[in-house]
Amino acid sequence: MRKFIAIATAAVMAMSLAACGSSSTATTTAAASGETQAAADNTQAAAGAVELKVAYADAEDSIFGKGAKAFAEKLEEVSGGTMTCQMFPNGTLGSISEVASMIQQGTCDVSPIVTSSLVDFCPELGVFDLPFLFTDYADAKTTINGEIGDYFTEQLAAQGMHVGSWMTMGFRETTSNKPIESVADFKGLKIRTQSNEVHQAIFNTLGAAATVISFSELYTAMEQGTVDAEENPYVNIYSNAYYEVQKYLVETNHVFQFASLLVSQSKYDSLTDEQKAWVDEAAAYAADVEWEATETDNETAKQGCIDAGMTLVELDHDELRNAVQGVYDKYQGQYGTLLEKMGK
């Protein structure tokens, strides 16, 4: 009997130990599994929590402001709120050239920048400063979203700048305090241009005297008569109240201004494939919004200038194009191959 009790007791103890061992193993396994999942969740959260710095030189209600806002809203939407943007309008992070350098260096993440301000990084972009390349918005958009756009996307990527999408400021126009009714009226006209040798060549070829003056000093220069005229998109002419110091609004359409929604290549490369896809989707959406806003806002600004008292002059664009053919002759060696790519 004692032998039977001893055997039974030993069996019960063995079963108890086995049960304890099983429970301990299950607990350990569950704990390990929980830790692994927590680590995975933390990694996923860390990968998803991204805030991009978006900077631009203009006001929040400007064309670029609308494009930047569209980018931020779409990015937050498609990422489920895991990717957001901190906005820096009105040049609060620096000048256009400074922000372009910051994009390259990775200290700013996103910025819409006109191609004429990127020639220091990619000199070939100067081809877009040539006069009368495009007849309308549709022609320009088709071109920049084709082979030539792909080419410049590669060139800018090599400079640390990822092209999210191509944007625009539209056509550049002319304002003047002297009447301009034909090509001949440009002769001797003192006109302010950007520090851009092709733009200067356009007006010098027309017989005007191109003068470089900083944008911040332009209003005063026109008010004081330092220059007779200037050239800008309608939105800039209206938003800076040039109608107060200029009489004539001359629709020259001499240059079509492209821009690029740039993303720092180093920031872009640090993202997951899914995040990159979200950024590109948001950039494409922002471009659609911005192109539409550019066309609409320029027409609104044009009418605003007329309502403010400016006299609209519509010049013969064929006559102007023929008059500046010498500019193409001058830059044929530099931009000829690119013009062929565009079919121009």
> In angstroms, rounded to a whole number, what is the distance separating the alpha carbons of residues 109 and 164?
11
Q: What is the mean pLDDT of residues 56-74?
A: 97
Indicate the pTM of the whole model. Answer: 0.84
pLDDT at 326: 96
pLDDT at 48: 62
> In angstroms, rounded to a whole number, what is the distance separating the alpha carbons of residues 254 and 206?
12
Q: What is the mean pLDDT of residues 137-153?
A: 97
Exposed, middle or buried: residue 234 (CB in 10 Å: 0-12, 13-18, 19+)?
buried
User: Are the C-beta atoms of 257 and 232 separated by less than 8 Å?
Assistant: no
Evaluate if residue 30 carries a pLDDT over 60: no
Evaluate if residue 310 carries a pLDDT over 80: yes
pLDDT at 2: 37
Q: Indicate if the alpha-carbon torsion angle 332, 341, 255, 216 is positive or negative.
A: negative
Decide: helix, strand or coil at residue 196.
coil
Evaluate if residue 168 carries a pLDDT over 90: yes
Phi, psi (degrees; rounded to nearest 5) at 187: -60, 125
Exposed, middle or buried: residue 8 (CB in 10 Å: 0-12, 13-18, 19+)?
exposed
> In angstroms, rounded to a whole number, what is the distance separating the alpha carbons of residues 305 and 237?
8
pLDDT, averaged across the chain? 89
pLDDT at 267: 98
- The two three-digit tokens of residue 177, written as one number: 């305090």
Q: Sorting pLDDT into bands at 50, 70 and 90, what band is 191?
A: very high
- The two three-digit tokens of residue 53, written as one number: 């710095």
Q: Indicate if the alpha-carbon torsion angle 134, 138, 141, 143 is positive or negative.
A: negative
Question: What letter would DSSP give residue 195?
Answer: S
In b/e form, how buried is each residue of 32-44, taking b as 16+ CB within 10 angstroms? eeeeeeeeeeeee
User: Are the C-beta atoms of 115 and 125 separated by less than 8 Å?
Assistant: yes
pLDDT over 70, % of the chain: 86
User: Which residue in 67, 80, 47 sits closest to 112, CA to CA?
Assistant: 67
Lowest mean pLDDT among 5-14, 91-100, 131-140: 5-14
Residue-wise pLDDT for 39-63, tens only, equals 333 343 345 699 999 999 999 999 9
Q: Indicate if the alpha-carbon torsion angle 325, 327, 330, 336 is positive or negative.
A: negative
- The two three-digit tokens of residue 271, written as one number: 């993202």
Decide: helix, strand or coil at residue 75.
helix
> In angstroms, rounded to a whole number, what is the distance separating the alpha carbons of residues 224 and 299?
28
Q: Which position has the token pair 């999942």?
A: 37
